[in-house]
Structure 1
Amino acid sequence: MVRRTRLSRLVIVVTGLTCLVTGCSGSEAEKPGVATLQSTPPSAAAVLADQRPVFPVDATDADREAMTRPWEDCLVKNGGPQYRGQGLALLIKGATDGEAVFKTCAAEQPETYEEHQQRTDLSEFKDNQREWYRCAKEAGYKLTAPDPETGEFGLTAVGPNGDFGSPKMQECKRKAFAG
């Protein structure tokens, strides 16, 4: 009898451990599903926005002009001849919102590497902004404190080094964003 009790206890312990490790329930239908985050698939506009042409950090004016041409062609086709020769100027001015033609041609609108990174990988963008800020500060530029949300900064004064378009500032930017 003692031997049978020990065997029964052993069977109960092994069965209990098996249930703990493998899960004991009646059927697959009774098991709760695995908790997952459900997200909606990206919209077509979001997918197209991520496929926009991106100017390389070291793009020349000729590169920018060539990459802007398909977007400008779309603007002319959908909005009229007043957009001919205006693509790059519109991008520089930031005048690309509001009108329906800009929404129609959004997938072809080029953006800078920084704009793309800020939109798609904010964490990496902030890291690169910090590096750009550090380099510009070391180069002698007088800068505003970086924005806590984006890391963006400005000049407090245009000094002997020049402004954001100056060679030293652009070199710092290239180093920071080129990785």
Structure 2
Amino acid sequence: MKFIPGAVVIALALAGCSTAEPPPEKVATLATTGASSAPPAASTSSPDLERPRYRLDMTNADMDQLRAPWKQCMAENGSPLPSSTGPGISDPGQSAKPGDPAWAACLPKYPLPPWQYDRNNPESMDFVHKMVQCLRQKGVKQVSEMPPAAGSERNMLALGGESNDAESVAKGMEMIPVCEKELTAGGAK
């Protein structure tokens, strides 16, 4: 049986307003054996819930503004910034140096990827697959799906193939925003 804290509070509040005889002690008392089926309150709050998140419709200026607190934190903690930190280029998990306290201290300020690419989104790889199909329909010859690299928070697509086809890279970079807009016509998250 699953324990739902809100339901217990509501049931107890309704019981307190009743004019009927109070229920037997067994019903009104919640006995625990030390192990609860509900997660502790602290575990329901994830550090990722506090982190900012990129959106597909953001401009470069918007992304720079969203990253500004992270950049400031990194500077305050004496760590050099990676050369490229755009939402599709790099993330701290890929560039982090093990044991670097600045990365750990500043990670809560680093923006999460757009939800459509977030590896924690169960539909993300479907979105990436649709992106690859869309890009191919738009003439990008060398494009493929790519699962997240170790330490990365996002699923990605790769342009250019093994030969790093310049035409596919250029056309893909031009068409990615077009396909993202088409696939999220209901509004980007």
Instruction: Report the TM-score, using the length of structure 1 for normalisation.
Output: 0.58
User: Aligned to 1:173, which of 174, 180, 183?
Assistant: 180
Aligned to 2:122: 122
Aligned to 2:3: none
2-structure distance, mates of 1:50, 1:69: 19
Q: Deviations over 1:9-44 (max 9, x none)?
A: xxxxxxxxxxxxxxxxxxx97xxxxxxx94644866
State which drifts further: 129-138 or 87-96.
Answer: 87-96
> Does the C-alpha gap of structure 1 residues 122 and 161 become closer, same or farther in structure 2, counting only changes over 3 Å?
same
Aligned to 1:141: 140
Equivalent residues of 1:67, 1:110 under 8 A apart: yes
Aligned to 2:101: 100
Gaps of 5+ in 2: 1-24, 27-35, 149-153
2-structure distance, mates of 1:61, 1:72: 15
Q: Deviations over 1:35-58 (max 9, x none)?
A: xx9464486696112321111112
SS of alignment partner, residue 89 of structure 1: coil
Using the TM superposition, give the Cα deviation of residue 75 of structure 1 relative to its aligned residue in structure 2, in angstroms: 1.8
1-structure distance, mates of 2:144, 2:169: 18
Aligned to 2:165: 158
Aligned to 2:57: 58
Aligned to 2:112: 111
Aligned to 1:21: none
2-structure distance, mates of 1:174, 1:70: 28
SS of alignment partner, residue 158 of structure 2: coil
Aligned to 1:89: 84
Equivalent residues of 2:140, 2:168 under 8 A apart: yes
SS of alignment partner, residue 119 of structure 2: helix
Instruction: Report the TM-score, using the length of structure 2 for normalisation.
Output: 0.56
- Amino acid of the structure 2 residue aligned with 1:101: A
Equivalent residues of 1:71, 1:87 under 8 A apart: no
Gaps of 5+ in 1: 1-27, 30-36
Q: Percent identity?
A: 17
Q: RMSD of the alignment, in Å?
A: 3.9
> Does the C-alpha gap of structure 1 residues 108 and 96 become closer, same or farther in structure 2, counting only changes over 3 Å?
same
Using the TM superposition, give the Cα deviation of residue 122 of structure 1 relative to its aligned residue in structure 2, in angstroms: 2.2
